[in-house]
């Protein structure tokens, strides 16, 4: 544990300027999205969540593929497991917690203070905070869990790319994620169409989990699509399956780090 926390402190000492700059940019972006008061900004919040995590992941795991700094980092008196867990601590645990706190603080507190400088007809600050807390608590745990899984999906793929490649990580990540989602959407469309023998509409290749699940209509009757969701049991099995897949990806990344160290 002492070596692990020394790695955490070392990571902060070497990259605190990047993290502080990232925090400022994300704060200003969340304030701008908070001023819109539009539900269409929610996908932008998620995109900002992804991009911030990509920056943190890149600053940590880039050392394994950067030959200019890799030798000194790999020779540190700590195991590959400790270095890998340090990266997970920053890019998953700490980042998600800081983003959630920053989201509430920037969207409600700072945005309210900025609006005070202009003519307005605002509700009391205490009422605004209570409304914000009520809105956050009204969202189901399943939605938050899906958002977290989506971040793990992006972050784990980027981690593999950063370890294996030297440059163009974000561009390759964008094409990789889009290709996976398109293939996934087409596969689900073909599977459901074969089962139901009807005209099927899948949720869509981009942000699949935000779609209205699956829709179908008969080839004979001219009717609108009727949408249906999976049962609770299948949802639980689906989440467990993706957690297993992400675990395999993380184990693969750790194996590649061990190979790189050798």
From the list 157, 174, 161, 162, the residue with the least C-alpha distance to 249 is 157
Span 7-47, pLDDT tens digits: 888 888 888 898 999 888 988 888 887 777 555 556 788 88
Q: Is residue 130 part of a domain?
A: yes
Q: Is residue 31 part of a domain?
A: yes
Q: Is residue 216 part of a domain?
A: no
Please classify residue 158 by burial: count the beta carbons closer than 10 Å to its beta carbon, then call 0-12 exposed, 13-18 middle and 19+ buried: buried
Q: Is residue 220's pLDDT more than 50?
A: no
Place of tokens 């971040």: 151
Q: Is residue 250 part of a domain?
A: no
Q: Is residue 35 part of a domain?
A: yes
Q: Is residue 152 part of a domain?
A: yes
Beta bridge pairs of residue 24:
none
pTM, two decimals, is 0.73
- Structural domain range at position 141: 2-166
Q: Is residue 254 part of a domain?
A: no
Domain total in the chain: 1
Percent share of the chain, pLDDT over 70? 68
Q: Is residue 179 part of a domain?
A: no
The pLDDT value recorded for residue 97 is 92
Span 87-144, pLDDT tens digits: 899 999 999 999 988 888 887 777 766 666 555 566 666 666 777 777 777 777 777 8
How many whole angstroms separate alpha carbon 34 and alpha carbon 16? 26
Place of tokens 């297993």: 244
From the list 159, 143, 157, the residue with the least C-alpha distance to 235 is 143
């Amino acid at each position: 544990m002492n070596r692990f926390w020394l790695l955490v402190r070392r990571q902060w000492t070497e990259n605190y300027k990047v993290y502080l700059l990232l925090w400022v940019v994300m704060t200003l972006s969340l304030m701008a999205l908070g001023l819109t008061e539009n539900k269409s900004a929610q996908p932008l919040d998620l995109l900002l969540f992804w991009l911030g995590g990509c920056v943190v992941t890149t600053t940590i795991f880039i050392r394994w593929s950067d030959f200019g700094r890799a030798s000194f980092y790999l020779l540190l008196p700590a195991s590959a497991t400790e270095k890998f867990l340090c990266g997970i601590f920053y890019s998953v645990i700490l980042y998600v917690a800081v983003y959630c706190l920053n989201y509430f603080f920037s969207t409600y507190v700072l945005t309210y203070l900025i609006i005070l400088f202009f003519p307005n007809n605002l509700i009391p600050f205490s009422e605004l905070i209570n409304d914000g807390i009520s809105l956050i608590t009204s969202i189901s745990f399943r939605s938050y869990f899906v958002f977290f899984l989506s971040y793990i999906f992006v972050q784990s793929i980027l981690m593999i790319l950063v370890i294996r490649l030297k440059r163009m990580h974000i561009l390759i990540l964008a094409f990789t994620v889009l290709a996976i989602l398109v293939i996934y959407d087409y596969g689900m469309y073909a599977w459901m169409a074969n089962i139901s023998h009807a005209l099927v509409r899948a949720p869509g290749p981009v942000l699949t989990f935000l779609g209205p699940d699956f829709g179908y209509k008969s080839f004979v009757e001219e009717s609108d699509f009727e949408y249906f969701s999976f049962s609770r049991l299948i949802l639980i099995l689906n989440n467990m399956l993706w957690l297993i897949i992400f675990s395999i990806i993380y184990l693969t990344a750790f194996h590649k780090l061990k190979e790189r160290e050798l």
